[in-house]
Amino acid sequence: MNTPGALAVRNETSVPRRNRFSVTKGIVIAFLSLLVVTQVYPLLWLLLYSFKTNEEILSGSFFALPGSPQWINYSSALAGGRYFRYLWNSFFVTSITMISVILLSSLAAFAISRFRWKYGQAVMLVFLVGMMIPMQATLLPLMLIFKNMHILNTHLSIIFPYIAFSTPISVFILNGFMRTIPHEIEESAIMDGASVFRVYLNILLPVSVPPIMTVCILTFINIWNEYILAATFISAESLKTLPFGVNSFVSQYSVNYGAIGAFLVLGALPVIVIYFMLADKITQGMVAGAVKG
């Protein structure tokens, strides 16, 4: 039986726990609020920037609202910046890269994590070393290779390096997840007559959708915003990707800062839309890797 004295002691010990919980909760909320401000504010500032005139931008009032929204900045970004042409090039290059990376990295992760062969860890080590190679160190060798292959100044000259630099981290993510899948699943499928490719296609890939979505968004963001390789290997105006559109508003004697802001907003819009479309899958992939790996 619970005596009054025991109930009093229980109530006294429960109060500090609630206080500690509220303090912890307050610290977490404060930290998340600071994170939201630091991440969201640059986007809001860029949005305001895109509606200002050059005079308002150069005045140094970063926090001021535009006196009159300059919608002409967006018209200039769409027309003068060749937005749709660069947008198509970026979508084409990014889509080919993403499909290739998902196919190659999933096959490599499947072979490393599910096959019992003595060179599996050595192959994984090669991919880990590939994550450490800086992109800038490969510019000159790739320039000479692509020149001899006669693919310089084509989309292939940037798609191949994009695939090469995106595959190691993708293999690392998928390999960590596939190792957590029980081997009994594929063993029972093989006993029922399924081939290795069928096990990969119908069992491993559907189960690995969350980390694959994580790989998709990471690859998409990296390739969409990449500038160095594209500036080195692409010179034809019709083949350039979206980051090059900013140069259209910079001349020898003047710079249209408002149009640059509008172009940057339009360039970031596809990334934001795709991120929110895949946000749930990305969270699932990261949680699965954190808990199971």
Q: Is the pLDDT of residue 252 over 70?
A: no
Taking the alpha carbons at both ends of the chain, their separation in whole angstroms is 46
| Residue 12, pLDDT score | 47
Residue 290: pLDDT band (50, 70, 90) is very low
**Closest Cα to residue 249, out of 241, 259, 240, 239?**
259
Dmax (CA) of the chain: 89
Query: 81 near 244, Cβ under 8 Å?
Result: no
Query: 198 near 189, Cβ under 8 Å?
Result: yes
**Closest Cα to residue 171, out of 210, 212, 213?**
212
176-to-126, 200, 287 alpha-carbon distances in Å: 15, 16, 12
Q: Which of 60-74, 87-101, 113-127, 264-278 has the highest mean pLDDT?
A: 87-101
Residue 223: exposure state from Cβ atoms within 10 A (0-12, 13-18, ≥19)? buried
Q: What mean pLDDT is predicted for residues 160-172?
A: 92
Query: 112 near 120, Cβ under 8 Å?
Result: yes
R_g of the chain, CA atoms, integer Å: 26
Q: Is the pLDDT of residue 1 over 60?
A: no
Query: 50 near 264, Cβ under 8 Å?
Result: yes
Query: 245 near 81, Cβ under 8 Å?
Result: yes
| Side chain identity, residue 286 | M
Q: Which of 102-106, 127-131, 214-218 has the highest mean pLDDT?
A: 102-106
145 backbone dihedrals φ, ψ, rounded to 5°: -65, -45
CA distance 171 to 175: 6
Three-class SS state of 70: coil
| Side chain identity, residue 57 | I
What residues does 255 pair with on adjacent strands? 250
pTM for the model: 0.78
User: Angle between the 120-130 and 83-114 helix axes, to the nearest 10 degrees?
Assistant: 150
| Residue 268, pLDDT score | 85
Q: Is the pLDDT of residue 205 over 90?
A: no
DSSP conformation letters of 161-215: HHHHHHHHHHHHHHHHHHTTS-HHHHHHHHHTT--HHHHIIIIIHHHTHHHHHHH
**Closest Cα to residue 262, out of 124, 119, 128, 66?**
66
DSSP conformation letters of 128-140: HHHTTS-GGGGHH
Query: 223 near 44, Cβ under 8 Å?
Result: no
CA distance 16 to 22: 10
Query: 93 near 162, Cβ under 8 Å?
Result: yes
